[in-house]
């Protein structure tokens, strides 16, 4: 009987030990889960009350942290949320000091760097900094600079009672400030750490193949992807073959002169695709098919009305359906990229180049109708390229022939020209074309298409855009009359462009490719910078399912019927 009692006591004690261990384990892996981000939290490190010897302006430090966050980075690392893979981290920093597994990812600590990195699969989704600079900032500093947080959550265990301030910096990233929960005794606590998070569910599977593919590409292949060139005739000649076979060009742009008939256009595009089969990535096959007077496609294809007419109608449903028709037209002929919609606000009646291509002079109408057209185009798996950033509507000269100047401050641009672009970016724009216009209040020396102040500081940092950036045609007089095209293209990439458009002249296309290659070889452009752009190009091609498959005969009758049906519906 005694033996049985001992066994019973032993069993009770053993179960109690197991229960305590389980509680400890669960506390260690407590998940603070916001419905929006689904991100698990590790137990925070011990908070630091004060950091001596830090000489800084809190406002400037917070602004710098926010600026990096918009790009998916923290100041203490060059890695990017949602893009950097684990091997890239190990290549730069070596193996971690500590590794912890959670329900939603793996966290690895680098003690000397004062950084913790969270992975979902092989990709970074959470970057945390415990740097002295971060830990010198106070609760009231954050609120004073950033305002009230979008959300506040809490973390508590036997050692910590922390408040987490959530700030959504753009569609891709959320910045979280973790610090002791303020109370009467500690009304203005210092930060424990920051956490920059991207939704792990939003990390595309394709990213893995994009990073892998970039590693498999040589420099010539990568630079070729960053150029879209024009063709000289109506068929695939030796120059086009050379651009595909020797230079691995990323794509082509076509004008009406290249497109004589539906049959000839099908043959031309199918031949280019067949020639490109040997390359690692499919071609971008692009055209300006805006509707109205800017309609490049051949045959007896009915034209959609001008954007000006659509703006006067002011029916978002019409704009979406017009976008669908534009997408169907391009798909039928074999194209996959449309340089449309135009998001310029036509605020200058003397503008010689935009005019009826714009949805009008009201930025709200331009925003709403432009975004709907963009969505209609992309619904047909055609890449829409919004243009001409940061706004070509208030120019008095045509950048095809001269370099326009817009003497507006950033504040003025924010109230008019930038509104449609901001709306489109917030609605998921995948590609932006940069205009050849000089904005002296932003950059006195360089037009927008080669300006870091416009592309990186304004478009990427201020507007939080991380999609594909491409130039307008670099053979336009606005560029070639003022700059050497090779160096201008190098400057554009350094400013933040991913794709250089060279719409005319085989020799100019080659000059641009050679200039970019030389700039990498002599160290003017880092190969890491090239990789950044090439990954964006790869992801875009994957996202839209681009393939070099041939297309069949175009059904012009069916396309025209869809246009007639739309017009009849709204003309009643």
Q: Cβ atoms within 10 A of the Cβ of 266, count?
A: 18
Query: Which pair of structure tokens corresponds to residue 140?
Result: 């009231």
What does pLDDT average to in each consecutive run of 10 residues of the chain (572 residues)? 50 53 39 34 43 64 93 90 87 89 83 93 91 94 93 83 92 93 90 91 56 91 98 96 98 98 97 96 97 93 94 96 97 98 87 82 96 96 97 70 88 95 94 96 96 96 93 96 97 98 98 98 96 94 92 94 93 67
Query: Which pair of structure tokens corresponds to residue 383?
Result: 């890449």
Question: In this structure, are residues 39 and 126 in contact, taking their beta carbons and an 8 Å threshold?
Answer: yes
Rounded distance, CA 324 to CA 319, Å? 9
Confidence (pLDDT) at 211: 80
HEC per residue, 341-362: CECCCCCCCCCCCCHHHCCCCC
3-class SS of residue 3: helix
Question: In this structure, are residues 109 and 101 in contact, taking their beta carbons and an 8 Å threshold?
Answer: no
Confidence (pLDDT) at 204: 47
Bond preceding residue 232 cis, omega within 30 of 0: no
| 510 domain residue, yes or no | yes
Rounded distance, CA 263 to CA 552, Å? 9
One domain for residues 101 and 239: no
Rounded distance, CA 489 to CA 447, Å? 12
| 16 domain residue, yes or no | no
One domain for residues 317 and 414: yes
One domain for residues 538 and 550: yes
Q: Domain containing 524 — which CATH number?
A: 3.20.20.300
Q: 202, 230, 253 — which closes off a domain?
A: 202
Rounded distance, CA 214 to CA 254, Å? 27
Contacts of 318 (CB under 8 A, 6+ apart): 310, 566, 570
One domain for residues 337 and 431: yes
Confidence (pLDDT) at 355: 79
* Range 518-535 burial, b when 16+ CB lie within 10 A, else e: ebbeeebbeeeebbbbbb
In this prediction the pTM is 0.68
Rounded distance, CA 71 to CA 61, Å? 16
- Residue range(s) defining the domain that contains residue 120: 32-202
Catalytic residues: 400, 472
| 5 domain residue, yes or no | no
Which residue, among 484, 473, 466, 392, has the nearest Cα to 430 in the 3D structure? Answer: 466
Distance of CA 19 to the CA centre of its chain: 48
CA 306, 308, 310, 315: dihedral to nearest 10 degrees? 170
One domain for residues 179 and 107: yes
| 106 domain residue, yes or no | yes
Residue with tokens 């904005």: 439
Which residue, among 44, 48, 80, 143, has the nearest Cα to 536 in the 3D structure? Answer: 80
Which residue, among 215, 208, 213, has the nearest Cα to 122 in the 3D structure? Answer: 208
Query: Which pair of structure tokens corresponds to residue 439?
Result: 């904005």
One domain for residues 242 and 155: no
| 569 domain residue, yes or no | no
One domain for residues 406 and 509: yes
Burial environment of residue 234 by CB neighbours within 10 A (0 to 12, 13 to 18, 19 or more): middle
Rounded distance, CA 199 to CA 36, Å? 8
Q: 202, 231, 260 — which closes off a domain?
A: 202
The DSSP H or E segment spanning 320 is helix 316-333
Confidence (pLDDT) at 105: 79
Burial environment of residue 77 by CB neighbours within 10 A (0 to 12, 13 to 18, 19 or more): buried
Burial environment of residue 62 by CB neighbours within 10 A (0 to 12, 13 to 18, 19 or more): buried
| 20 domain residue, yes or no | no
Question: In this structure, are residues 13 and 150 in contact, taking their beta carbons and an 8 Å threshold?
Answer: no
One domain for residues 197 and 295: no
One domain for residues 438 and 420: yes
Q: 202, 234, 268 — which closes off a domain?
A: 202
How far apart, in Å, do the first and last CA atoms of the chain sit?
A: 97
One domain for residues 165 and 297: no
Strand pairing category for 431-434 and 161-168: unpaired
- Side-chain-side CA neighbours of residue 130 (13 Å): 15
Helix spans in 110-184 (H): 132-135, 139-146
Bond preceding residue 540 cis, omega within 30 of 0: no
Which residue, among 312, 380, 306, 299, has the nearest Cα to 341 in the 3D structure? Answer: 306
Rounded distance, CA 463 to CA 427, Å? 12
One domain for residues 524 and 396: yes
Query: How is residue 435 annotated by DSSP?
Result: P
| 224 domain residue, yes or no | yes
| 385 domain residue, yes or no | yes
Confidence (pLDDT) at 32: 35
One domain for residues 284 and 394: yes
Cα torsion 268, 274, 276, 280: sign? positive
Rounded distance, CA 415 to CA 494, Å? 28
Question: In this structure, are residues 193 and 128 in contact, taking their beta carbons and an 8 Å threshold?
Answer: yes
The total domain count for the chain is 2
Backbone Cα Rg of the chain: 27
Question: In this structure, are residues 210 and 539 in contact, taking their beta carbons and an 8 Å threshold?
Answer: yes
């Amino acid at each position: 009987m005694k033996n049985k009692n001992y066994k019973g006591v032993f069993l009770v004690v053993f179960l109690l030990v197991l229960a305590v261990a389980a509680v400890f384990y669960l506390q260690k892996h407590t998940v603070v889960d916001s419905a929006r981000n689904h991100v698990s939290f590790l137990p925070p490190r011990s908070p630091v009350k004060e950091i001596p010897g830090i000489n800084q302006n809190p406002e400037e430090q917070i602004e710098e942290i926010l600026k990096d966050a918009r790009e998916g980075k923290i100041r203490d690392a060059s890695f990017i949320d949602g893009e950097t893979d684990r091997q890239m981290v190990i290549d730069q920093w070596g193996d971690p000091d500590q590794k912890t597994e959670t329900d939603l990812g793996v966290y690895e600590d680098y003690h000397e760097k004062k950084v913790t990195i969270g992975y979902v699969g092989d990709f970074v989704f959470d970057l945390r900094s415990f740097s002295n600079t971060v830990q010198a900032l106070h609760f009231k500093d954050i609120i004073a600079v950033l305002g009230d947080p979008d959300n506040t959550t809490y973390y508590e265990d036997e050692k910590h009672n922390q408040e987490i301030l959530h700030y959504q910096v753009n569609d891709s990233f959320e910045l979280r400030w973790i610090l002791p929960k303020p109370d009467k005794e500690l009304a203005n606590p210092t930060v424990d750490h920051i956490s920059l998070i991207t939704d792990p569910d939003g990390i595309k599977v394709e990213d893995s193949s994009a990073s892998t593919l970039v590693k498999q590409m040589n420099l010539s292949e990568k630079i070729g992807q960053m150029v879209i060139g024009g063709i000289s005739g109506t068929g695939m000649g030796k120059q086009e073959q050379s651009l595909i076979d020797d230079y691995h060009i990323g794509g082509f742009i076509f004008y009406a002169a290249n497109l004589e008939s539906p049959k000839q256009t099908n043959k031309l595009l199918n031949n280019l695709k067949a020639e490109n089969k040997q390359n690692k990535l499919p071609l971008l096959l692009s055209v300006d098919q805006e509707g109205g007077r800017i309609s490049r496609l051949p045959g007896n294809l009915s034209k959609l009305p001008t954007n000006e007419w659509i703006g006067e109608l002011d029916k978002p449903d019409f704009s979406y359906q017009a976008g669908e028709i534009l997408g169907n037209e391009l798909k039928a002929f074999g194209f996959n990229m449309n340089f449309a919609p135009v998001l310029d606000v036509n605020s200058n009646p003397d503008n010689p180049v935009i005019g009826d291509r714009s949805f009008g002079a009201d930025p709200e109408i331009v925003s709403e109708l432009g975004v709907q057209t963009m969505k209609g185009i992309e619904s047909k798996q055609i890449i829409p390229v919004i243009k001409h950033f940061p706004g070509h509507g208030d120019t008095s000269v045509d950048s095809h022939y001269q370099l326009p100047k817009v003497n507006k401050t950033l504040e003025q641009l924010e109230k008019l020209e930038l509104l449609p672009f901001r709306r489109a970016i917030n609605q998921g724009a995948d590609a932006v074309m940069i205009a050849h216009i000089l904005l002296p209040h932003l950059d006195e020396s360089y037009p927008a298409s080669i300006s870091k102040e416009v592309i990186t500081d304004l478009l990427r940092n201020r507007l939080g855009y991380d999609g594909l950036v491409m130039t307008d045609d670099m053979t336009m007089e606005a560029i070639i009359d003022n700059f050497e095209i090779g160096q201008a293209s190098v400057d554009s990439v350094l400013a933040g462009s991913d794709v250089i458009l060279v719409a005319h002249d085989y020799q100019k296309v080659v000059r641009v490719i050679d200039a970019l290659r030389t700039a990498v070889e002599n160290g003017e452009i880092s190969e890491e910078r090239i990789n950044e752009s090439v990954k964006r190009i790869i992801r875009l091609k994957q996202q839209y399912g681009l393939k070099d498959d041939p297309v069949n005969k175009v059904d012009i009758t069916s396309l025209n019927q869809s246009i007639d049906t739309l017009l009849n519906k709204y003309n009643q």
